[in-house]
Structure 1
């Protein structure tokens, strides 16, 4: 079976905004002396909005420091990052190779389509993608597989003809539920449990080798 489409998550795959955001959160927890592990914080990768608040309340419901300062912590917002500085290394080269192979490319993220369009424009890569699919706009967030199923339907490709590039547990679960191949891009701290993926890559450029492996007769 030949891969015909590659679907990219945004945060943690196209740009390292996931790591940036979670490291900022750890600084906030340090400030209020809330005890945590990196694995706890990185378990929130791929989570957005009110879901982050629910996850934190569940993680720290017995922590006295969190309880005392939860209003300040839950009001936490990251400073606006420089997206160009956070663009994933070797991404441009990968997109060039994939386009030369005439593969269909999409961004499929929990973020809104408006936010994704602005981010891709700022990174000067919007034209590389044939589709922007927003789970928020579609009304079904990962780990629901719908955003990936939607992209595959638009491209008229089957799950076994699709490679999804993810980083978070939620995204990996969504990709596997959609029936596609899933490659996980390892986070810089190695704190995300990515064992559900078909392969874990330290360099996004290795996606080409994985596609070639899948395409072997």
Structure 2
């Protein structure tokens, strides 16, 4: 099948934010529950905001609900304890290589993220790739979050291609599962800092740039099939 679109997850793929985000949340939750371990928070990676804070409300033992914790973290704890994240320092330059290759070969590009749209737009703009995307879809555009396939089905629809013609680059367990359920070609970016399950992926990538070789291989296979 010819690959007609490349869809990127954002956190962990375009920008290496997972460790920074995890550490901030870990320190915040520890003020309520000192027995929490970093690995206790691995399940939140790749999930939408509502799911993340529902999980954290249970783990914290604070007695506060998800919305109370989220508001306190974002508007009170972060300003007091953390500086602004420099997303340009966390940007994976190989993403630009893939985008340039895609443009040169008529391949559409998009971002499908669980993060809120305005934050996705701000981060992609900061690292200089927002205008390079044909579509930017967030969890807010879909009824169900990852690991449901909704965000990838919606992204394929907006790109005007079939899900099976899309190469998705993901890193987290829930993201890989979502892309698999959507029927896309799933490339899992290897990140051994987290115990992600990559079993549902079609291929593993050591670098985002490896997607170029994968697309080339698929295009050559398709040309051979069409010439028979």
Q: So what's the TM-score if we normalise by structure 1?
A: 0.84
- Contact kept, 8 Å, 1:19 with 1:188, in 2: the verdict is no
Partners of 1:23 and 1:99 lie apart in 2 by 36
Partners of 2:2 and 2:212 lie apart in 1 by 13
Q: What is the total number of aligned residue pairs between the two structures?
A: 209
RMSD: 2.5
- Contact kept, 8 Å, 1:19 with 1:187, in 2: the verdict is no
| TM-superposed deviation, 1:30 | 5.8
| TM-superposed deviation, 1:57 | 4.7
Partners of 1:29 and 1:202 lie apart in 2 by 32
Q: Residue 202 of structure 1: which of 194, 200, 206 is its match?
A: 206
Please give the per-residue CA displacement for 1:114-154, whole angstroms capped at 9, x wherever unaligned.
22222111111112111111221333322221221112122
Note if 1:116 corresponds to 2:120. Answer: yes
Q: Which runs of 5+ in 1 are unaligned?
A: 61-65
> Does the residue aligned with 1:165 lie in a helix, a strand or coil?
strand
Partner of 1:90: 94
Partner of 1:21: 21
Partner of 1:141: 145
Partners of 2:47 and 2:63 lie apart in 1 by 18
State how 1:14-53 maps to structure 2 within 5 Å. Answer: 14-28=14-28, 33-36=34-37, 38=39, 40-53=40-53
Larger RCO of the pair (alpha carbons < 8 Å, separation 6+): 1
Q: So what's the TM-score if we normalise by structure 2?
A: 0.80
Please give the per-residue CA displacement for 1:25-59, whole angstroms capped at 9, x wherever unaligned.
33445665324253x3222111233311322355x
- Contact kept, 8 Å, 2:143 with 2:150, in 1: the verdict is no
Pick which of 22-31 and 206-215 moved more: 22-31
> Does the residue aligned with 1:179 lie in a helix, a strand or coil?
coil
- Contact kept, 8 Å, 2:49 with 2:115, in 1: the verdict is no
Pick which of 186-195 and 157-166 moved more: 186-195
> Does the residue aligned with 1:19 lie in a helix, a strand or coil?
helix
